Structure 1
Amino acid sequence: MFVLELTYTAPLERIDAVLPQHVAWLTAHYEAGTFLASGRKVPREGGVILAAGPDRAGIEALVATDPFVREGLTEYRITEFVATTTAPALDGHREQLPS
C-alpha cells in the first residue's frame, strides 16, 4: 500500500487550469482499482492519494503520468507501508508482514 503526498510547486491558477485532466487521471485509476481514497490537503497546498499497487516501481511509473507532474506543477512523496490492519471495506487490501 502507498501514501502519495502531492505538494504543489506552482500557483493555484496553474493547478486549477490542469485540474480537470488530473481528475480524469484519478478517475481512471479508481476504475482500475489502484486508488482507494484521495483529496486536497488543508490548507490547499497539495493532496493525498491512498493507492494499492504491487511494487514501488509501478507506483512511481504511474505517478509520472499524472498531468500535474507532466506539467511540472507538483512534487510527489511516496510512502510505502504494509497495511496489516484495515477497515472492513478495505479487507481485500490487507497485507501480511514479510517473513
Structure 2
Amino acid sequence: MSESTSSQPRIFGSDVPKTLFVLRHHFQKSPQAFEDAYKGHRAYIERNMAEGTFLLAGPAVPWDGGIILARAVDRAEMEAVVATDPLVDAGITKYDVTEWKTTIRRQEFDAIIPA
C-alpha cells in the first residue's frame, strides 16, 4: 500500500467538512510585556468575535500565550487576520495557525457555526 503524498486529508463517508482554524500564540517577550499591551489585543479579539471570525479565545495553561478557535474562507485569510493582532506587530507574540477540517460534530454545532 503506497502512502498518500497529498497535503489534503482524505474525507471518508458523506460528512461535509467544515474548516476551522486553531490559533495558538506564544509569548516572544515576557508576560509583563503582554499585560502592558493587553488593551490593543483585547480590542483585536473583540472585533474579530463581533465579525464572527473568532469563536472562542482565552489564555493557555500554563500561561505562555493563548488559544483561539476561528473560521475563515482559507488559510491566506486567516494568516491576514492573525497579522493584524497588535501583539504580532510589537513582537510580543507569534502565532501557529493550524487548519482543521472538522467532519464529525454534534448537530447543534451547525446551528452555531453555519457553513
- Relative to the length of structure 2, the TM-score reads 0.77
TM-fit CA distance, 1:12: 1.2
SS in 2 for 1:4: strand
Q: Which residue of 1 aligns with 2:53?
A: 34
SS in 2 for 1:86: coil
Match of 2:103, SS?
A: coil
**1:53 and 1:45, CA in 2 relative to 1: closer, same or farther beyond 3 A?**
same
Cα distance in 1 between the residues matched to 2:75 and 2:93: 19
Which 5+ residue runs of structure 1 have no aligned equivalent?
none
Matching residue within 22, 25, 30 for 1:3? 22
Q: Distance in 1 between matches of 2:83 and 2:35?
A: 19
Partner of 2:102: 83
Q: Deviations over 1:13-46 (max 9, x none)?
A: 1100111110110000000000000110111100
Task: Write the distance in 2 (CA, Å) between the matches of 1:62 and 1:45.
Answer: 21
- Residues 3 and 72 of structure 1, relative CA distance in 2, 3 Å threshold: same
State yes or no: 1:57 paired with 2:47.
no
Report what 1:18 is aligned to: 37
Structure-1-length-normalised TM-score:
0.88
Unaligned runs of 5+ in 2: 1-19
SS in 2 for 1:3: strand
Residue 94 (structure 1) shift: 6.5
- Cα root mean square deviation, aligned: 1.5
Identity, % of aligned pairs? 37
Aligned length: 95
The separation in 2 between residues aligned to 1:55 and 1:75, in whole angstroms, is 20
Highest Rg: 1 or 2? 2
